Structure formats: structure tokens, C-alpha cells
Amino acid sequence: MRWMWIDRVLELVPGERMVAIKNISLAEEHLHEHFAADPERGLPACPVMPASLIIEGMAQTSGILVGQVGAFREKVVLAKISIARIDRDAFPGDTLRYTATIERMDEAGASTRGVIERLDLHGQGEPEQIGRVDLMFSHVDRNRSGLAFPEHNFVFGESFRTLLQSSGFAME
């Protein structure tokens, strides 16, 4: 399994905002455990996208937005989840839309705001906001602790390159 929690980038305004979508599919193994049926308690299976992976989706969206500013040369790592609120569940067949905006950014890192919406099936009706995820990213090469990190950029690898290319955006 590839650790990719967004499927397509819809919009990228450099240094400002990025919009990406995630289509939730029953082919995702973890949905069959989250949550499996519980015959003893008479509960049917209830596949729900885990909130932790919704946060990861927003972290990937926001991380690409922040990384793009430095042409993906900086290693941008998630350093803090400032706010994570998921108010409604998301199910197989749903599309999640992640909108990330940069709130502040300097050489050491960035803070981002993120809104998560659920688009209903077939795109009918209004998107419903189901959560907020605000994050902080650190540029690890310029971190203040003085720790050394590997030279190669382990953050933005081949999978992200493919995602951006298939969405019609160049990584360079």
C-alpha cells in the first residue's frame, strides 16, 4: 500500500492555498476493520474513514502547499496538530475535499489552516463541512535544535511527483 491519502490536486495557488480530493473506497483494507461487524453485540459492519487518516490527508495537502514554496527542496515535516476537529463521519463512496491555506510562513516553518468538506454522491447538493485541521510544519534543515537529517529529500518522493503530474501540476 502506498501512503497516499489524497487522490488528486484540484487547485494550487503557490504560497496561498491548495485544494485536493480523496475518494474513499471499500477497496481500502482498513475500512473493513474500522469498524468490523460485532455479531456478539448484534452490530453490523460500519466502514468509516478513520479520523487519523483524514488528518493525514490534510497534512499531505498542506505539506505539498508548503513544500511547493521552496520548490520541494526543503524537507517539510508535520510538527504540530494545532486543531483537529472532525464533526461527521465519512463513508465509502464519499469524496472528501481538503482546502489548505498558509496562515504564516518563514525560514523555520509554516502554519496552515485546513477545511474538510464532504461532497455528496454524484456531486449533487452543497458540500458539507465536516471538520477543521490546522497544522504546523517545520523545515527540518533549518530547525533550531541543530539535529542533522539525511541529505536526500525523504519527504517529497516519487508518489508525490506522480500525484502532482497526474493532476496536471509540475513538481519543479
Partner 1 sequence: MTRDEIFEKVREVLVDALGVDDDEVTPDARLASDLGAESIDFLDITFKLEQVFEFKISEGEMFPTNVAQDPTYVQDGKVTPKGIAELRAKLPHFDFSEFEKDPQLRRIADVFTVSAIVSFVERKLDTNVAA
Give how many residues touch partner 1 by CB under 8 A.
16
Q: By C-beta, is 29 or 107 nearer to partner 1? A: 107
Q: By C-beta, is 95 or 112 nearer to partner 1? A: 112
- Kindly report the number of other CB atoms within 10 A of residue 42's CB atom: 7
Q: Is 34 a catalytic residue?
A: yes
Best CA proximity match to 22, nearest among 90, 83, 76:
90
Q: By C-beta, is 123 or 146 nearer to partner 1? A: 146
Give the footprint of partner 1 on residues 70-89 (CB under 8 A).
79-80, 82
Give the x/- contact pattern for partner 1 in 89-108, rule: CB under 8 A.
--------------xx-xxx
Q: HSE of 159 in the Cβ direction (CA atoms, 13 Å)?
A: 10
Best CA proximity match to 53, nearest among 104, 98, 112, 5:
5
Catalytically annotated residues: 34
